[in-house]
Structure 1
Amino acid sequence: MKILGSDIRVGNIIEYKNDLWKCLKNQTSNRGNLRSHNQVELKSITKGTKLNERFRADETVERASLEEKKFQFLYSANDEFFFMDSANFEQISINKSIIEDCEKFLKENLEVTIEFYQDKPLNIILPRSVEYEVLETESVVKGQTASGSFKPATIQNGLKIMVPAFINQGDKIIVDTETQEYLKKVS
């Protein structure tokens, strides 16, 4: 399936230069009289090498044709992560090299989408937002206003994020998995 260069997003897998590449970062630019373009950092799925490339907005690239399946995260052991197919309850293991940055967001029973290319798992797509418990946070300083001020907090899996001053240890919050930012408190 062909997509425009401006439509390449983080996590997309494209066919480019006779290889499969995963987009790690992208930045769209539209300055002055220059044509708009998308600066992307790509990582080769097969070789592990990285490449920085600039795609014009009107340029087309081939998005890899991948099969998507829903899985539930079970547990991890050493460098292997175990998932269960939500449809037929079969279990698969995926190496840490494929999981990459998703590891810090995985928690037991989290439903994810796994993309396969020729029956080989290539990519994990996390839900856009996930609920976590705040394990540790600083107490509020007296006189500090509740609106607009943030403090560091450690949530499940040891991930550190900034949360509003009214969040306390034990609270459940929703976190954006793409930006790693606090979204809201769960009542």
Structure 2
Amino acid sequence: MKINGNEIKPGNVLQHQDTLWAVVKVEHVKPGKGGAFAQVEMKNLLDGRKLNERFRSEDKVERVRLEQKDFQYLYTQEDMLIFMDTETYEQLELQKDFVGDRSAFLQDGMMVTVELHEDRPIGITLPQYVTLQIAEADAVVKGQTQSSSYKPAIMENGVRVMVPPFITAGEKIIVDTGTLEYVRRAD
């Protein structure tokens, strides 16, 4: 779908320079001389490069709609992650690098959302919160107050997280997969 340069908004996905770009920031500029334009900061969805581009209102850009599909995580095989489409039972294999550090949070049977463009995966979204058990937690240092200080702990998946002093090894906690931060104790 073609849109004018002044209609670009953060979150849009654009087809530009024969690749896909996610719009991160848009600033509308009206200089004293010349026509107004939109200064657009974009991130390449395929390789992560950043680009700043100017679009005038008469410029036409192709806005792309991504298909979002739910997949269930099945297992890891060497450096490939195997997911299954719960409607068609087709399997999708993704490189571990595609998911990045967040692959440590994948659990058997976990539902994820994969963004597809022309049946090609270009992004993945994990659930915002996951429950994990603490494998190791440092001892509390005397004199630490409960509200102001956190201590390092290692979760069962090997990821290090800062937790409040009252959390001990063996306890289950809820972690934000986006920020990798402790949220609260699991019930």
TM-score, normalised on structure 1? 0.74
Matching residue of 2:49? 50
Query: How many percent of aligned residue pairs carry the same amino acid?
Result: 37
Partner of 1:166: 166
- Shift in Å at residue 86 of structure 1? 2.3
Q: Which residue of 2 aligns with 1:178?
A: 178
Query: Once the 2 structures are TM-superposed, how far is the Cα of residue 51 of structure 1 from its aligned partner?
Result: 2.2
SS of residue in 1 equivalent to 2:178: coil
Task: From the superposition, tell whether residues 78 and 51 of structure 1 become closer, same or farther in structure 2 (CA, over 3 Å).
Answer: same
The amino acid of 1:177's aligned partner reads T
- Extract unaligned runs of 5+ from structure 1: 30-36
Deviations 1:15-41 (A, max 9, x none): 333311357xx6899xxxxxxx8755x
Offset of 1:101 from its aligned partner?
A: 3.5
- Match in the other structure for 1:20: 20
Unaligned runs of 5+ in 2: 28-38
TM-score by length of 2: 0.74
Q: Which has the larger radius of gyration?
A: 2
Work out whether residues 105 and 157 of structure 1, in 8 Å CA contact, stay in contact via their aligned partners in 2.
yes
Q: Secondary structure at the match of 1:69?
A: strand
**Aligned letter for 2:119?**
D
Counterpart CA distance in 2 for 1:137 and 1:15 is: 47
Closer/same/farther in 2, CA of residues 146 and 126 from structure 1, 3 Å limit: same
Partner SS, residue 157 of structure 1: coil
Total equivalences in the alignment: 172
Distance 2:110 2:95 in 1: 18
Q: Is the 8 A contact 1:152 1:161 kept in 2?
A: yes
Q: How does 1:105-120 map to 2 (within 5 A)?
A: 105-120=105-120
Preserved CA contact (<8 Å) 1:102 1:124: no
Q: C-alpha root-mean-square deviation of aligned residues, in Å? A: 3.3
Letter of the aligned partner of 1:81 in structure 2? Answer: L
